[in-house]
Structure 1
Amino acid sequence: MENVTSNHATLCPSARPEMQDSKVFGIISGTVDEPRLAYLKQPLPVTEEVMASSGSVRPTEVFRTAAPCAEKKCQHFDGANCRLAMEIVDKLPGVVEQLPPCSIRTNCRWWKQEGKAACMRCPQVITDNYSPSEVVKQVGKSLVVSK
């Protein structure tokens, strides 16, 4: 698979589409109760046309995007690791038995940090999930940063 960025930046697989240099690497499929990521063979740059193609729903309900990891600027980064990746591996069950055909894996922060365990859970991660399971809610709650 081809790398998403030419500078080989470490990528966040749960980035917001409005982040600089973001790319769509998957489309949400499955059901409301069991959403699953369908991986694109090649990531697509986030453009106005791509975002408009989500129709009447938010792009983050339809697409998963990756962008260079914001590290210290991100609430999930603890200075060395992505806490979101750790929580996903710790609390979510695996949903696939083989590594998904992911076009960003080479540069993915979750892959670099948590390895295969993160990839086996990644297909169920939805950036804006309005019907999360109780386990997904727990992962989200444990990551709330108090001010």
Structure 2
Amino acid sequence: MNHPAIPMCPSAQHHLDGAEVFAVIGGSAERPEVSYLEQAFAVTPEVVAMAAPVDPAEVFRFGAPCAMSTDCWHFDEDRRKCRLAIRTVRIAPVVVSKPPRCAIRTRCVWWAQEGVSACLRCPQVVTNDSAPSDSVLETADPMNLAGAAG
């Protein structure tokens, strides 16, 4: 799949229109590790079923067209920026020394907004984390405006 004009959220839910799988989550609940796919592919009922009995976002990373509006609680309408990307770069630790290959990078909102700093943290991101750390909770909290200020 390749639609270069459509900015993609790299932390989306599978049920959103235009959602694509671009990575698989491995590791453990305490230390998730994201493995990126060579190519993103459309979400199908079969893909969702492969994750059963857990939530698909605990097994896969999904990208979907960025809402770029108040439809997303992480989007800052005034600054036209993703606060989740900002908080990820400010709060989450760097976990790789170079950006991993990523099938959605050229369309990724986080990459466009935060550059390589987002990519160096991305491999630890699990959209629906079953055992989130305090820093993950702080990063994901849409009410944490302090972490996204500036």
Fold agreement, TM-score > 0.5: yes
Could you tell me how far 1:7 is from its partner in structure 2? 5.3
Equivalent AA in structure 2 for residue 76 of structure 1 = H
Aligned-residue identity in percent: 43
> Could you say which residue in structure 2 is the equivalent of 1:110?
110
CA contact (8 A) 2:4 2:106 kept: no
Pick from 19, 24, 39 the counterpart of residue 22 of structure 1.
19
Pick from 71, 74, 80 the counterpart of residue 72 of structure 2.
74
Q: Are residue 61 (structure 1) and residue 58 (structure 2) matched?
A: yes
Q: In structure 2, what is the Cα distance between the partners aligned to 1:140 and 1:30?
A: 20
Q: In structure 2, what is the Cα distance between the partners aligned to 1:20 and 1:7?
A: 16
- Kindly provide the CA deviation profile for residues 6-38 of structure 1, in whole angstroms up to 9, marking residues without a partner as x: 352000001110000100000001111110110
> Could you say which residue in structure 2 is the equivalent of 1:138?
138
Q: In structure 2, what is the Cα distance between the partners aligned to 1:140 and 1:101?
A: 24
Query: Helix, strand or coil: the match of 1:44?
Result: strand
> Could you say which residue in structure 2 is the equivalent of 1:85?
85
Could you tell me how far 1:134 is from its partner in structure 2? 1.4
Which of 131-140 and 57-66 deviates more? 131-140
Q: Are residue 41 (structure 1) and residue 41 (structure 2) matched?
A: no
CA RMSD in angstroms comes to 1.3
Q: In structure 2, what is the Cα distance between the partners aligned to 1:54 and 1:75?
A: 26
- Kindly provide the CA deviation profile for residues 81-115 of structure 1, in whole angstroms up to 9, marking residues without a partner as x: 00000000000101001111101000100000000
Q: Which runs of 4+ in 1 moved over 6 A?
A: none
- Unmatched tracts of structure 2, length 5 or more: 145-150
> Could you say which residue in structure 1 is the equivalent of 2:147?
none
CA contact (8 A) 2:12 2:63 kept: yes
> Could you say which residue in structure 2 is the equivalent of 1:94?
94
Q: Are residue 31 (structure 1) and residue 24 (structure 2) matched?
A: no
Pick from 2, 5, 8 the counterpart of residue 11 of structure 1.
8
TM-score by length of 2: 0.90
Query: Helix, strand or coil: the match of 2:36?
Result: strand
Equivalent AA in structure 1 for residue 143 of structure 2 = V
Q: In structure 2, what is the Cα distance between the partners aligned to 1:140 and 1:41?
A: 27
- Unmatched tracts of structure 1, length 5 or more: none
